[in-house]
Structure formats: C-alpha cells, structure tokens
Structure 1
Amino acid sequence: AILKKGSLVQKLYEKNKIYERHRHRYEVNPDYIKLLEGKGLVFSGRSPDGVLMEFMELPKHPYFVATQAHPEFKSRPMTPSPLFTGLIKTAKMRKK
C-alpha cells in the first residue's frame, strides 16, 4: 500500500510504502469515495495503482483506523504490528 503522507498510518509504520497480507473480498465502492472524504474520512493507504482503498482513518477520532489487510499475520510477540502498538499507546495515553 502507498500511505498518505502525514496520516496516522504513515506515522505508525514510519514508511511511505508497506506490504501487508490481505485478501480483497470486499472493497470501497468507488462511487462513494468522494462523498466519504467530504465527510471527513481519510483514505490513508491505497493500492499501488490507486484503485483500491487499503487503509482509512478518521483524523478527529483518537484512534479510528481500518484496513483491508490482516496485520495479525505478520505480528509476532516481540515485533507486533504498528497498528496494534498504536492502539495500545493511544489507549494508555487516554487512560491517564
């Protein structure tokens, strides 16, 4: 996926291009992308050809990230997915 600069996902991965396992059985209907973006949803990761939305987030929410990928497949006890560590860090900060 090509990650949008400045997005939460890009900050979590600390990269502009990532490779996660996924299986696109569902996708965002292209007819609704502009409408959703107009309401504040950010598509923060797209397929290299720009056609498929692979990550999305709500910037005004403390931690709202969704993905087509399966980050659990590459996570390991000592090297968890950046999406998981980001969720835990956000929850921990909000608890204080």
Structure 2
Amino acid sequence: MRARIVEPSRAGRQVPAIADEVGCSRKTVRRRLHRFNRSGLEGLEDLGGQGGKRRITEAERSRIIALVKQVPPGRLEVQPGGDLWAAAESGPAA
C-alpha cells in the first residue's frame, strides 16, 4: 500500500483520489506522504507501539465480556406464556 500512495502522488494525483484508489482515509494518505517526505523510504515503515497499553489483563477482559452477556439482576423478562419474571428480584431494576 505504501508504494501505491507515493507513486500516484509523485505523478500529480490528489490526496482524495489516492485515498479512494487505495481504500484508506485521506488522513492516512497525508500522514504517509509527510513521513515519506521527511524520512524517505524509512518513513514508510510501520511504526510499532502506537496504541496505548492495556489497563486490564486478558482474564479481566474475558470476565467483563461474560458479565455483559448476562441478563442484569432485577431486569424483567417476558416468559413464553406472557408472564413477567425477574432473574433476581432482590437486585436493582435495570
């Protein structure tokens, strides 16, 4: 993708056309072109470690996902016969 951004730019193509052709955002095209202009071929290498570090462990993340998938306590559910039922009547209403 990197060469597909630089070559059209050098041929005079505009950023919006390059972004459409490559299938990425205009911001990405501009960022790549600025890095290329500043650092040459090395500027086209992917930079590692750009994202923030995780604040929770994978085990904590899995536990949170499992909790989100559960019906909250106190939430009323309609039963097949039309009756209402709460999973945990002592819990807060959701």
TM-score normalized by the length of structure 1: 0.22
Larger strand percent: 1
TM-score normalized by the length of structure 2: 0.22
Does 1 or 2 have the higher relative contact order (CA < 8 Å, sep 6+)?
Answer: 1
- In terms of Rg, which structure is larger? 2
Larger helix percent: 2
